[in-house]
Amino acid sequence: MISQSKSSIIQKFNEDANQYDAQRSKLIPCFDDFYSIPISILNTQTTRPTALDIGSGTGLFSSFLLRKYPEAKLTLIDISEKMIDIARERFTHVSNIQYIVDDYTSHEFTSKFDIIISSLSIHHLTDAEKRNLYHLAFLLLNEGGIFINADQVLGQTPFLDDLYKTDWKNKVENSGLSEKEIHAAYERTSLDKMSTLADQLNWLKESGFKDVDCVYKYFNFVVLFGRK
């Protein structure tokens, strides 16, 4: 049974699916680095890696991965059917993709992967769910596999967290988005359950990942890396 919190996430992202991609560069002040840096550090021993995108949304992150590995075999999973529908439209020319509409925290995966990526999704989970997910990601990776999470984190102190959020709001409100779009973005932040960077690095290490690092940070936007 889906919780009330996750039902709210489904509803909100179903409502915003059609406008989601068009707003990304305005809602993520560091958009170019946020998506290019994770792809630049993705290195596998095969040109045809198997890749899982958890909380894939419209497939934006996967689209960057495919530019580097056009022969990758992709699995996209998201709880919002409307977001997955947008991904299907994005990848109509790509045949090697599996789509799953489900809660990735409870889905029973039947295969392993060379790469697991996620973008702006895991911060919707509770601390316990994040820890469990990092453990699951480790188990689902092949030996030498890479996990990358491009996401938002809670400031290490209340002062820093307020600093981050104030900076983001100032930039969003001067981004050219309409008042309606800005309001919708603020509404989505009410669904956030962000955790600190330090906690999440520790949880990745606890799960068994090595070479764990935050390879990029822009206020509360971070790119986390781990290798099996």
Mean pLDDT score of the chain? 92
Domain edges within the chain: 4-227
pLDDT digits (tens, 9 = 90+) for 130-169: 999 999 999 999 999 999 999 999 999 999 999 999 999 9
Q: Please tell me the CATH superfamily of domain 4-227, with its number.
A: Vaccinia Virus protein VP39 (3.40.50.150)
pLDDT at 221 > cutoff 60: yes
Is the pTM above the cut of 0.85?
A: yes
pLDDT at 80 > cutoff 80: yes
pLDDT digits (tens, 9 = 90+) for 167-209: 999 999 999 989 988 888 888 888 899 999 999 999 999 999 9
pLDDT of residue 189: 86
pLDDT of residue 6: 67
Exposure string (b/e) for 92-123, b if CB count within 10 Å is 16 or more? eeeeebebbbebbbeeebeeebbbbbbbbbbb
- Cβ atoms of 219 and 164 within 8 Å: the answer is yes
